[in-house]
């Protein structure tokens, strides 16, 4: 829709592209670094993408990763117990 010929014909469209191109490389680098850190902390690629789409603050994503990793670690510890083992 925004890439239709009518929008691209306006000089403001090209001015906006030029203005945003200077910050786009920094945003891309931050996104790549955050994504790699999320996957390295134990999240799947799908979970990392969902977190990127749902959480808009990149530093909040980095702050939440250790908490999510701790929750996953504790959750896996509970699930690894055999079903017939006594509790405790």
Q: Confirm whether 85 is domain-assigned.
A: no
In this structure, is residue 42 part of a structural domain?
yes
Residue 55 in domain:
yes
Contact 4, 28 (CB under 8 A): no
Which regions of the chain are under pLDDT 70? Answer: 1-2, 72-88
Contacts of 39 (CB under 8 A, 6+ apart): 45, 48
Give residue 23's pLDDT. Answer: 92
Contact indicator for 65, 38 with CB cutoff of 8 Å? yes
Domain count within the chain: 1
What range does the domain containing 71 cover? 5-79
pLDDT of residue 2: 65
First vs last C-alpha separation in the chain: 59
In a domain, residue 37? The reply is yes
């Amino acid at each position: 829709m925004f890439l239709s010929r009518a929008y691209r014909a306006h000089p403001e469209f090209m001015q906006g592209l030029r203005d945003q191109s200077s910050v786009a490389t920094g945003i891309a680098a931050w996104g790549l670094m955050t994504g790699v850190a999320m996957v390295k902390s134990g999240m799947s690629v799908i979970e990392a993408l969902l977190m990127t789409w749902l959480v808009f603050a990149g530093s909040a994503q980095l702050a939440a990763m250790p908490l999510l990793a701790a929750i996953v670690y504790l959750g896996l510890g509970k699930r690894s117990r055999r079903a017939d083992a006594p509790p405790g």
